[in-house]
Amino acid sequence: MGSDVELVVVAPRPTTERLVARAVARVAQLEQRWSRFIPDSDICRLGHAAGRPVAVSDDTLLAVRRVLQAHAETGGRFDPTVAAVMDRLGYDRTFAAVVERPAARQPRTADVAGWDAGTPVVPGCAGITVDDAARTVTLPAVVRLDLGAVGKGLAADIVAEELLDAGADGVCLNIGGDLRVAGTPPGGREWTVSVECPFEPADEVARVALWSGGVATSSPRAKRWRHDGDLVSHIVDPTTGRPLRAAAASVTVLAGEAWWAEVVATACIVAGPAAALATAEALGADAIVVRRRGVVASTPGAGDFLRPHRAADGSGLETG
Amino acid sequence: MAEGAIKRKRRRHAAAGTRIAVAGAGTGAMLGMVAALGLSDRAAARSAQAAASAGSAPATAPAAKAKSTARRAADKATAAAKAEPVPKRTGQAPTARSGSPAEVATKRFDAAGGGPLTVIVRVHRVERSPRAPASGTTPVRPPVTAWTPRTTAPRTAPTRRAIPAPPPRPSDPPPAPVTRTRGSR
């Protein structure tokens, strides 16, 4: 997942350390199963199976079911089969390694087969099958999965719910900015989450308070690197197979679960700034959009979550 | 129901020798007022307050026994309040489900598990105060308001919608963020 993780656990005193240790181990296990940069991960083994069924963990079965659902419900705006495009753009290793690679060794647009020949470079989810009885997944030979737009949220959901079942009273698990809150918050009142400004990370554009749910933010400004002279982002438009260009600066989505918030945030970014809010509402979630000139807009339902936040100049608290 | 209306109703029913009941929100307070009729104003107020605090007054009371009922309710409320020190209403972390003290732990770590485990911070630890109220004083209960904090969250969140926190009260300080969301890096 290539991210820092922040965990807050509210629990009876003797169990807290055990719960924290369990969460650390479980996140690492999910990383091991879902990373496309770990050769023996479930995701890598699926990609190299050349169309044969592959036995995978229950976590991966769940993840594949979720991405199929997300792809269908977003009309393809969320597409987990962008892995090949990511590789061709140079995002074929951890992001830290991508940005450190010398410019001379970066792939060039001309090397990306299919872009100019009209070949679909994002194959889509048709042909992906999950066999629950056999606990296997089968991908068509040309398809590889990238859980980059769902894995962090889904991991947060899985681990948070497991901690509650193991005795925690409340959990907030934030993986790289995509988070799940559940159970009793510290202080017993609310889980308050700051929404970071996409232009200036030290600032916040909003502050939201939840009792339970997921919050995820998608921003093409978050991961950018040089590719063939252009600054490209990690978010690909599945309809073109190219990195997004005219996109909102960021979309923050509030939903019942973190995986769905992350999926909707990606779908909103791909839909474009003008359609982002309508897309969120159509998918049953609330959203806060920061447009490229810094204008902030939100769905009507997001108003239930907003709290006063620190003004950009640090002078005080703004409402809404 | 206004206090005057309750008095009039009580007088009518007392004359007829029937029972009275006041249902709905604030039942304890209403019964306290009703049952205390006939006492001095000061005693009535004290009884009403005690019954409201206890929230355990019976839903009906024979009018003829109103005075003794009020006293029993007041005694019960006072005893219950003394036995259970009242936690602060704000800035207080919850007590664990088991009744043992709760604590809040924050940890930051690398998703791969092999990175530096940078921070472990105990934010605070919560225990019930062992100190009993001073003799002769009445513990102060939080004011009764329409908003009541929930003590347990639903375990199964709906997939689609997050659940907003209750709106803050005007007296609440601005909430400090627990964490922040941003584009994944």
pLDDT tens digit sequence for B82-111: 554 444 433 344 444 444 556 788 877 766
DSSP, collapsed to helix, strand or coil, labels residue A208 as strand
Instruction: Give me the residues of A, 42-71, that contact B with CB < 8 A.
Output: none
Q: What is the pLDDT of residues A166-218, one digit of tens each?
A: 999 999 999 999 999 999 998 888 999 999 999 888 889 999 999 999 999 99
Give the span between the Cα atoms of B85 and B103, in whole angstroms: 20
Residues in chain B: 185
Q: What is the pLDDT of residues B144-157, one digit of tens each?
A: 333 333 334 443 43
Give the pLDDT score at B159.
61
Give the pLDDT score at A129.
95
C-beta atoms of A24 and B182 within 8 A:
no
Whether B153 and chain A come into contact, CB under 8 Å, resolves to: yes
Whether B3 and chain A come into contact, CB under 8 Å, resolves to: no
How large is the average pLDDT for residues B45-59?
43
C-beta atoms of A169 and B181 within 8 A:
no
Angle at which helix B41-54 crosses helix B27-35, to 10 degrees, equals 150
List chain B residues with CB under 8 Å of A179: 179, 181
Helix ranges, chain A (H): 16-34, 42-47, 58-73, 83-88, 95-100, 151-165, 258-271, 276-282
Give the pLDDT score at A245.
76
Q: Which of A7, A10, A152 to mutate to test the interface with B (most CBs of B within 10 A)?
A: A10
Give the span between the Cα atoms of A178 and A161, in whole angstroms: 15
Give the span between the Cα atoms of B177 and A207, in whole angstroms: 8
Distance from the Cα of residue B115 to its chain's centroid: 45
Give the pLDDT score at A8.
93
Banded model confidence at residue A293, pLDDT cuts 50, 70, 90 = confident
More confident residue, A278 or A317: A278
Whether A307 and chain B come into contact, CB under 8 Å, resolves to: yes
Give the span between the Cα atoms of A186 and B103, in whole angstroms: 9
Give the pLDDT score at A149.
86
Q: Which of A152, A164, A184 to mutate to test the interface with B (most CBs of B within 10 A)?
A: A184
Whether B100 and chain A come into contact, CB under 8 Å, resolves to: yes
